[in-house]
Amino acid sequence: MLRPTINGEVMNWSKFWIKISMVIFLLALNSLFVMLLWNMFLIPAINGVNEIGFVTAMGITGLFGILFKENGIKANFNE
């Protein structure tokens, strides 16, 4: 039976699933904060803004993650 390996070592599936579940948990927690902040503070402040749900908050979180990700390019204003 072939076993998946990484650099010649057998993959530890329990650590893999723990890491995946932690990423999903952090995504859900961050999306919950975005949803609550949007619905509690942005809606009363701006007329015409609608409430968002959990899935929409996940989308906003993902889009802002893409927009503001660190790509390794740094501005150096000291020169």
- Residue 63, domain extent: 13-67
The count of structural domains within the chain is: 1
In a domain, 62, yes or no: yes
Mean pLDDT over 36-56 rounds to 91
In a domain, 72, yes or no: no
In a domain, 54, yes or no: yes
In a domain, 4, yes or no: no
Report yes or no: 28 and 20 within 8 Å, Cβ to Cβ: no
In a domain, 79, yes or no: no
Query: Which helix (H) or strand (E) covers residue 50, if one does?
Result: none
Report yes or no: 49 and 42 within 8 Å, Cβ to Cβ: yes
- Which of the two residues, 76 and 37, has the higher pLDDT score? 37
In a domain, 76, yes or no: no
Model pLDDT for residues 14-30, shown as the tens digit of each residue: 888 999 999 999 999 99
